[in-house]
Amino acid sequence: MSLSKADIPSSPPRSSDLDDGGASLGHGSAVAADQPVEELALERDVATDEVVVLDYGGQYSQLIARRVRELGVFSELLPHHVGVEEVRKRSPKGLILSGGPASVYAPGAPRLDPALLELGIPVLGICYGMQALVLTLGGRVEGAEVGEFGRSQLTVTEHGRLLAGTPDSQACWMSHRDTVYAAPEGFAELGSSTESPVAALEDVGRGLYGIQFHPEVVHTPYGQQILTTFLEDICGCERTWSAASIIDEQVAAIRAQVGDGRVICGLSGGVDSSVAALLVHRAIGDQLTCVFVDHGLMRQNEGEQVIAAFRDHFKVPLVAVDAESRFLDRLKGMSEPEAKRKAIGAEFIRVFEEEAARIGDARFLVQGTLYSDVIESGGGTGAATIKSHHNVGGLPEDLEFELVEPLRALFKDEVRAVGAELGLPERLVWRQPFPGPGLAIRVVGGEATKERLDTLRAADAILQDEIRKAGLYRELWQSFCVLPDIRTVGVQGDERTYGYLIAIRAVTSDDAMTADWARLPYDLLEQIASRMINEIREVNRVVLDITSKPPGTIEWE
Instruction: Name the residues that contact ligand XMP, by CB under 6 A.
Output: 18, 23-28, 341, 433, 435-437, 478, 512, 549, 553-555
State the Cα–Cα distance between residues 358 and 264, nearest whole angstrom. Answer: 11
* H or E segment to which residue 499 belongs: strand 495-508
- Report the nearest approach of ligand XMP to the CB of residue 549 (Å): 5
- Report the nearest approach of ligand XMP to the CB of residue 180 (Å): 40
- Report the nearest approach of ligand XMP to the CB of residue 181 (Å): 44
- Kindly give the pairing relationship between strand 487-492 and strand 443-444: unpaired
DSSP 304-339: HHHHIIIIIIS---EEEEE-HHHHHHHTTT---HHH
- Report the nearest approach of ligand XMP to the CB of residue 487 (Å): 25
Point out the catalytic residue in the list 80, 176, 214, 295: 214
State the Cα–Cα distance between residues 121 and 206, nearest whole angstrom. Answer: 9
How big is the CA angle at 101 (ends 99 and 106), to the nearest 5 degrees? 115
- Other Cβ atoms within 10 Å of 342 Cβ, number: 17
Comparing CA positions, the residue from 368, 397, 401, 261 lying closest to residue 23 is 368
State the Cα–Cα distance between residues 252 and 439, nearest whole angstrom. Answer: 38
Question: Helix, strand, or coil here: 195?
Answer: coil
Residue 216 annotated to the active site: yes
Instruction: Assess contact for 188 and 201: CB atoms under 8 A.
Output: yes
- Report the nearest approach of ligand XMP to the CB of residue 515 (Å): 7
The smaller minimum CB distance to ligand XMP, of residues 312 and 338, is found at 338
The smaller minimum CB distance to ligand XMP, of residues 176 and 341, is found at 341
State the Cα–Cα distance between residues 39 and 30, nearest whole angstrom. Answer: 18
Point out the catalytic residue in the list 76, 216, 347, 355: 216
Burial class (CB in 10 A: 0-12, 13-18, 19+), 335: middle
- Report the nearest approach of ligand XMP to the CB of residue 448 (Å): 14
Written as one letter, the residue type at 533 is: I
Sorted by sequence, the CB contacts under 8 Å of residue 426 that are 6+ apart come out as 420
- Report the nearest approach of ligand XMP to the CB of residue 390 (Å): 6
How big is the CA angle at 469 (ends 467 and 475), to the nearest 5 degrees? 50
Point out the catalytic residue in the list 50, 86, 127, 172: 127
- Report the nearest approach of ligand XMP to the CB of residue 40 (Å): 24
- Report the nearest approach of ligand XMP to the CB of residue 111 (Å): 36
Q: Which long-range contacts link 82-91 to residues 24+ away (Cβ below 8 Å)?
A: 82/37, 82/40, 82/54, 83/113, 84/113, 84/115, 84/116, 84/119, 86/37, 87/52, 87/54, 87/116, 87/119, 88/119, 89/41, 90/50, 90/52, 91/46, 91/50
Max distance between CA atoms of the chain, in angstroms, equals: 87
Sorted by sequence, the CB contacts under 8 Å of residue 310 that are 6+ apart come out as 267, 274, 277, 290, 292, 316, 318
Please say whether the dihedral angle defined by the alpha carbons of residues 229, 230, 233 and 239, taken in this order, is positive or negative: negative
Burial class (CB in 10 A: 0-12, 13-18, 19+), 311: middle
Residue 172 annotated to the active site: no
Sorted by sequence, the CB contacts under 8 Å of residue 73 that are 6+ apart come out as 48, 49, 50, 51, 93, 231, 237, 238, 239, 241
Residue 219 annotated to the active site: no
Comparing CA positions, the residue from 436, 521, 449 lying closest to residue 483 is 449
* H or E segment to which residue 541 belongs: strand 539-544
Instruction: Assess contact for 434 and 479: CB atoms under 8 A.
Output: no
The smaller minimum CB distance to ligand XMP, of residues 296 and 435, is found at 435
- Report the nearest approach of ligand XMP to the CB of residue 433 (Å): 4
The packing angle between helices 522-535 and 450-469, to 10°, is 140
The smaller minimum CB distance to ligand XMP, of residues 22 and 223, is found at 22
What are the residue numbers of the active site? 127, 214, 216
